Structure 1
Amino acid sequence: MLRHRRSLCRLRHAARLLAMALLLAGPSHAAAGAEAEALLAKVHDFLSERAAGSGDEIAVEVHPPRAALPACPEPDIFLPRAANRPVGRVSVGVRCDADNRVRYLQAEILVTGRYVALARDVRAGETIRPEALAEVAGRLDRLPRQAVLDPDRAIGQQATRHLAAGQTLQRYHLRPRPLIQRGQQVVIEARGAGFRVTRSGEALGAGGKGERLRVRLADREILEARVVGEGRLVVDF
């Protein structure tokens, strides 16, 4: 929260310097400076809202442009590169009704929070258990885009490669642990409104929880079903 206030102070300080310079140049320039300060504040608020929930502490810094900004009472502010929760250096688009022209501002979103690292070496193919993980506090905006932030996203998954102790865990390091093997006899459950039917069959592939597999029934019919547990699949209607 303190860092958030400091970043807002830096934004206001930069905007005030711009406004003061324009004030010395004349009344019309002073008015333009106030409008520029208001627009920068709106961009700051937009980014703060979009980044909310990204970490424990968030600081947003909007860099004032070199060129003067136009009057823009109701700007359309957007992120050219869509992201659920933007972090790090970002480009922000601002479209004004006056000329429908898009201006781009540069900003930086600094996020501090917790992420997942390896507490010990993990072998390729090993199932990730809680004792193999460590939660680390640090700058989330400096992490790879696929960094794992929640330990629950890793526990029970299988390592795709050898992972060294202290390494930041990333999503591509993990794959679902196979619950069903190719050729295994499995139970398929069909669910629908007011009914539930189970049948046995043979899995035509291997898969982990949530993955979809083809299954051959005793009458040679082939269905596609979703893995829900050890040797268990379900067909939803």
Structure 2
Amino acid sequence: MLRKRVTQPGMLCYWQVIFLLAMLAVTALTKVQADDDALLQQVHQFLYQETQALGEEVVIDLRPPSPHLPKCIQPEPFLPNANQAPLGRVSVGVRCGENGRQVRYLQAQIDVIGSYVVAARDIERGTLITSNMLSERGGNLGDLSAQALTAEEDIVGKITQRPIRSGSAFLAHYLQAPDLVERGQRVTVVAQGSAFRVSREGEALENGALGEQVRVRFGSREIMTARVTDRGVLVVDF
């Protein structure tokens, strides 16, 4: 007996349903991939702008976001630690949505080939660093500690807090700016604004290095906080 399968009008067979579902899944996956690619491109461009001044060559390896996250609308990349150079393994924040209320984080490996400063000889603790104590070395800045100081201007004029061996990089906590103001010292405090500049003498209540805030006493009761700008000189900006 000859049998023939007949599909009723308006109905789909099993394989047609499977095919349609597969096509919908592929379409959705393609859209997610396109959204992720656009986000990665924007974050990559942001990281390149943040690192291009650090060295001669920059290599950025950015991990894609989780596929379970929704699309990031109006992405705004940022660095959670803006005071630290983006080198080595870094976390990159991205604000999404209206007013950046949604925040997600991507992981990146950033390698920068450039030059950095090392000790030209052994340096004892308590030494005031001068330029002739330094030498330059080239390499991957991403291999350095996050606390490493790579520029000469960030090192010269500071005092070592521990011995530093020849060839070693300078870490921020190895150095300290020298005090320009000492506790009990008579100092000059300059108050300045857009249309005035006056100065008066006071007594420093604590030690302070360049740029630090120090409390100063005037007379027996008045105390003011001022910023150290030179040896024995502090400024209050209005």
Do they fold alike, i.e. is TM over 0.5? yes
Mapping of residues 70-219 of structure 1, within 5 Å: 82-84=80-82, 86-90=86-90, 107-218=108-219
Specify the code of the residue in structure 1 equivalent to 2:58: I
Report the Cα offset of residue 173 of structure 1. 1.4
**Contact 1:76/1:94 (CA < 8 Å) preserved in 2?**
no
Cα deviation, residue 221, structure 1: 3.0
Report how far residue 35 of structure 1 moved.
6.0
What is the distance in 1 between the residues matched to 2:207 and 2:95?
Answer: 51
Task: Report the structure number with the largest CA radius of gyration.
Answer: 2
CA distance in 2, matches of 1:115, 1:179: 28
Q: CA deviation at 1:229?
A: 0.7
SS at match of 2:165: coil
Shift in alpha-carbon separation, 1:193–1:68, aligned structure 2, 3 A: closer
AA matched with 1:43: L
Aligned residues: 207
CA distance in 2: counterparts of 1:224 and 1:96, whole angstroms: 40
- Identical residues among aligned pairs (%): 36
Could you list the per-position Cα deviations for residues 182-233 of structure 1 after superposition, in whole angstroms to 9, with x for gaps in the alignment?
2222222222342222222222221111112222334553322221111111
Amino acid at match of 1:215: V
- Tell me the equivalent position of 2:46: 49
Separation of aligned partners in 2, 1:63 and 1:232: 50
Q: Label 1:223 to 1:77 Cα distance change in 2 as closer, same or farther (>3 A).
A: closer
Deviation sequence 1:83-127 (CA, Å, 0-9, x none): 445333356688999xxx999865432222222221122222222
Q: Measure how far apart 1:139 and its partner are.
A: 0.9
Give the letter aligned to residue 166 of structure 1.
G
Q: Which runs of 5+ in 2 are unaligned?
A: 1-21
Aligned equivalents of 1:199 and 1:93: distance in 2?
A: 47
Provide TM-score, normalisation by structure 1. 0.68
CA distances 1:24-52 after superposition (whole Å, capped 9, x unpaired) = xx877776468637734641452242243
**Separation of aligned partners in 1, 2:191 and 2:103:** 53
Q: 2 CA distance for matches of 1:94 and 1:220?
A: 49
Q: One-letter code of the match for 1:58?
A: V
Asked if structure 1 preserves the Cα contact closer than 8 Å seen for 2:214 and 2:226, the reply is yes
The answer as to whether partners of 1:77 and 1:93 remain within 8 angstroms in 2 is: no
- Which residues of structure 1 form unaligned runs of 5+? 1-25
